[in-house]
Structure 1
Amino acid sequence: MAERELHVVMVPWLGFGHMIPFFQLSVGLAKQGIRISFISTPRNTSRLPKPPPNLAPLINLVDLRLPAVAGLPEGAEASVDVAIEEIQHLCRAYDLLHPQFKQFIANESPDWIIHDFAPYWIAEIAREFRIPHIFFSVFTAANLSFLGPPEYLVGDAQKKHRPSPESLTFPPEWITFPSSVTYRQYESSDMFSIIFGQNASHMTNAERLSLAIRSCHAVVVRSCTEFEADYLNILEKIYRKPVIPVGLLPPVPPEGEGEGEWVEIFKWLDKQKPKSVVFVGFGSEVKLSRDQVCEIAHGLELSNLPFLWALRRPMWALDDDDDAFPSDFRRRVGDRGVVCIGWVPQLEILAHPSICGSLFHSGWGSIIETLQHGHALVVLPLVFDQCLNARLLVEKGLAVEVERSEDGSFDRSGIAKALQKAMVEEEGEGIRIRAREAGTVFGDLRLHQELYIGGFIQYLKKGPSFPNCD
């Protein structure tokens, strides 16, 4: 008798650093015959990659209408569409998806719900319809471990264990081995506010995360034991429920080298020496200031290394692309560097044999995309989980972090110094060797699809063996 087809509903937060991993997990599950309903909003689903044609019948992109709320710009449906101070209003709108989602669940009766940290209201719906649910973390196990047991994120326990920004600047007591994964003093105030501060949605991020962990049947992490077994073990101890690494979900670059405007870029890359070009990119969530762009530009110039810089057009820049850069920057670097304003085919670029490393924000998705090719890393963390990711990479000897002043600012000499060390100097040879070694794990598609995704599917088919703790 053929096995019954499982139906899994995926519910990511409205940020592409969340939606893309949820989509990649959806593709991995669909490859094994799991039917997926991927919940988001119209503008977001239109910006996601297209499912592979052979999997399209199994992946249904479900559009819920994002309600309008005061403070949220018209047409904004993802964190990339808003300033950081407007994310709280995006949270309010997201929470108002609750009735539409409840109706969808009532109509569909799926076998599982896999959700992000943000939709705390899923626990109530899942309980009402008796549907097991799983929290899928797009963050590293090190990030989650640092934040601690879910009960420490709220109430009196939070006041005891995380009373102030300073409490984020040293390893917590539940990390039982030496660890440098902490926030710097200049990062701690903003991060304390982001994690524990009140906002227009009336739910702190810590409260959302705590509810997601406490109510779910299991926690799934985008990670693997080959990379952070020690932190995964900590999670099992402090969560007291199954913690399942689902692998790194490494993306597969599309075949071919891009078309149209990208042809000239790949022609330029083809002319460069193997392992000589630095790729520079700071993702979709980071909004660089004029001073930051200026120092990065001068640092690239001082490094004397070939580079390809993908820069999202700053809000402060005029329509003229050159306004985003120091005067005469492009003329001075000449053919040694290429600057692209806007989106670039990052996966194809990182796979090109001329790339030797990356200067970037240390977002977890970009780390995976870069290390799967064994490239050296220079990290310049700016927001959210990037700071702890950077410390984790340095702790493992996989990256050089750009030096900062006590106020968190960086300058051109720090950029150039970090690039030289990571990419060419003898002092950085160990980093380059370890990055190449990491590439054998990060780029092992069979390991992540067959072992990790395969193991997770067995858990889904077996059903929850652990009652949730609503």
Structure 2
Amino acid sequence: MLPYLAFGHMIPFLHLSTALANSGIRVSYIISPENTKKLPSIPPHLSPLIQMVQLPLPHVDGLPDGAEANVDISMDQIPYLKIAYDLWKQPIMHFIEHNTPDWIIHDFAPYWISDIAREFNIPHILFSIFPASVYSFFGPPEYLAEPSKYWTSPERLSSPPEWITFPSTVAFPSYEAPYVLAGFFGTNASGVSDSKRIATCISSCKAVAIRSCKEYEGQHLDLLETLFRKTIIPVGLLPPAVPERRKSGGGGAGGEEEWEATFKWLDERKPNSVVFVGFGSESKLGKEEVYEIAHGLELSGLHFLWILRKPMWAVDDNDALPLGFKTRTESKGKVCMGWAPQVEILSHQSIGGTLFHSGWSSIVETLQFGHTLVVLPLVIDQSLNAALLVEKVVAVAVERDSKNGSFKRESIARALKKAMVDVEGERVRVRAREMKKIFGDIDLNQDYIDGFVQYLRKDS
């Protein structure tokens, strides 16, 4: 298993590793030492089947010391992390040469894995941590490898492409399209664009495994077979296991006592009355954005639990929020700085909705409990995810400026009230609860894993 070094990638790869190990498959999970410390621990009964292979990440000028994941760096430093990742090729090749796996399952970034697979005659599978709708939007690998064949302007990114023949609203907002065109298709400091990396992986792999299911996006999965001319294997949604309710917390800036108090606070709220607010570990929100979210929460009058990682621009935790915000909202909400047991929080009966960035992992974690979604996408795939959620009437989008994508506190408050309490949002709440039958169905998702395991055993 070879994930890219971002937690939105490493965690799904770990979930897939656990699912495969549960089926009796031995897994070697390639990871760097610092990231190993931050990943969830392997369930004890599976530890004999999952080997965490720690390979040091080569040093690269432009990366801070100890930076081994997107979470450790600013947006403009990410290409340098990809340089270090590409230098991983030699130690990974050495490991594969001496361990001869039956399969290599990898992320989008290691476009060079085809060289290793060819040299040692090992089949490889691209595992997409994104839903099929993201890949189907971008089209066949030749358009990813050579964007000039189709992706010639931002305007093309702002509407569904010609190969999507069924009704669809999945596209980028006009304010984001220029950045996608430059950032996704353009060459960066690593020397290889993200679109080129993906195209190379698709062209050389034996199959593409997708973290998704036909019940959610069957048309997009079927379309991928045509676009990629490869076997497409949905592996299910990989919903994380719900941990038993803890007697005390653990982790986080405040340690166990803070989490014990937080869950006690949740216990005292009415069912489905609290908004969970979280934008992932790697989102880079600006000061004005964080402050508008804060004021919007206050303006909504709803109960909220906000998990906020201290932004790089903040001097300290207090500077990360508007002056007096915590005091003014102490009867309505809680702000927890740093790490949080997100799945455990989302499983609590008082949580009724989520304000978030619409990352795919967070969508899965939220819909497995049937919570209403309020979407505020920030980068690349998140806008496409959000568009499909709104299309399926399971999410409310925060209204934004059509020219620059900015948002105001009033828009945050309106979206939250619509999703949580207003009559006009009732259909969204009903549809979100219905999604629990897909996203939270253990047997359904296990059937997809069983199908993937059957494919691996048959073709190895």
The residue identity in structure 2 corresponding to 1:26 is: S
The match for 1:108 is 99
Q: CA deviation at 1:256?
A: 2.2
Alignment partner, residue 372 of structure 1:
368
The question of 1:182 aligning with 2:179 is answered: no
Deviations 1:312-371 (A, max 9, x none): 10111122x222111111111122110011111111100000000000000000000000
Number of the residue aligned with 1:5: none
Distance 1:334 1:76 in 2: 36
Determine if the alignment matches structure 1 residue 206 to structure 2 residue 195: yes
Matched letter for residue 294 of structure 1: Y
Match 2:124 to one of 120, 126, 133:
133
The answer as to 2:427 corresponding to 1:438 is no
- 1:339 equivalent in alignment to 2:335: yes
Count of equivalent residues: 451
CA distance in 2, matches of 1:266, 1:80: 26
CA offset at residue 310 of structure 1?
A: 0.4
- Letter of the structure 1 residue corresponding to residue 81 of structure 2: L
1:123 to 114, 124, 144: 114
Q: Distance in 2 between matches of 1:104 and 1:328?
A: 54
Aligned to 2:252: none
Q: Which moved more, 1:440-449 or 1:78-87?
A: 440-449
Structure 2 residue matching 1:280: 3-state secondary structure: strand
Find the aligned partners of 2:296 and 2:214 in 1 and give their Cα distance: 36
1:253 CA drift (Å): 2.1
In the alignment, the residues of structure 2 paired with residue 201 and residue 407 of structure 1 have an alpha-carbon distance, to the nearest angstrom, of: 28
Deviations 1:196-216 (A, max 9, x none): 111111111011000010000
One of 167, 170, 173 as aligned partner of 2:162: 173
Question: What is residue 36 of structure 1 aligned with on the other side?
Answer: 27
The reply to whether residue 460 of structure 1 matches residue 456 of structure 2 is yes
Alignment correspondent of 1:196: 185
1:325 and 1:81 map into 2 onto residues whose CA distance is 21
User: Partners in 1 of 2:7 and 2:442 — Cα distance?
Assistant: 22
Question: Which residue is 2:253 aligned to?
Answer: none
Rounded Cα–Cα distance in structure 2 between residues aligned with 1:99 and 1:323? 44
Q: Indicate whether 1:310 and 2:324 are aligned.
A: no
Give the corresponding residue for 2:409: 412
Corresponding residue for residue 16 of structure 1: 7
Q: How does 1:36-435 map to 2 (within 5 A)?
A: 36-155=27-146, 158-257=147-246, 258-259=248-249, 260=256, 261-319=258-316, 321-405=317-401, 406-435=403-432
CA distance in 2, matches of 1:167, 1:312: 35
* Structure 1 residue 307, shift from structure 2 partner: 0.3
The 3-state SS of whatever aligns with 1:57 is coil
Distance 2:191 2:324 in 1: 48
TM superposition shift of 1:74: 0.9
For residues 218-241 of structure 1, the C-alpha deviation after alignment (integer angstroms, 9 at most, x for no partner) is: 000000001000100110111111
What's the TM-score once normalised by structure 1's chain length? Answer: 0.95
CA contact (8 A) 2:373 2:394 kept: yes
Amino acid at match of 1:392: L
Give, in whole Å, the separation in 1 of the partners of 2:436 and 2:395: 13
TM-score (norm 2): 0.97
CA distance in 2, matches of 1:64, 1:36: 15
SS at match of 2:187: coil
Q: CA deviation at 1:64?
A: 1.0
Q: Distance in 2 between matches of 1:142 and 1:339?
A: 33
Q: In the alignment, what sits opposite 1:6?
A: none
Q: CA deviation at 1:154?
A: 2.1
Q: CA deviation at 1:167?
A: 1.5
| Letter aligned with residue 333 of structure 1 | T
Distance 2:127 2:75 in 1: 23
Q: Provide the secondary structure at the position in 1 that maps to 2:48.
A: helix
Give the residue type in structure 2 aligned to 1:82. Answer: I
Amino acid at match of 2:189: A
| Aligned partners of 2:145 and 2:200 also within 8 Å | no
The answer for unaligned runs of 5 or more in structure 2 is 250-255
- Report the secondary structure of 2:277's partner residue: strand
Q: Which amino acid aligns with 1:335?
A: S
Q: Distance in 1 between the 2:139 and 2:435 partners?
A: 27
- Partners of 2:354 and 2:245 lie apart in 1 by 22
Identity %: 59
1:225 partner amino acid: K
In structure 2, the residue matched to 1:467 is none
Aligned equivalents of 1:127 and 1:358: distance in 2?
A: 45
The CA distance in 1 between the partners of 2:340 and 2:60, in whole Å, is 32
Counterpart residue number, 1:468:
none
CA contact (8 A) 2:158 2:172 kept: yes
CA distance in 2, matches of 1:360, 1:324: 17
CA distance in 2, matches of 1:317, 1:98: 36
Partner Cα distance (2:203, 2:149) in 1: 19
Structure 2 distance, partners of 1:12, 1:331, is 42
- Separation of aligned partners in 1, 2:123 and 2:131: 23
Runs of 4+ in structure 1 off by over 4 angstroms are: none
Q: Following the alignment from structure 1 to structure 2, what is the Cα–Cα distance between the partners of residues 317 and 162?
A: 38
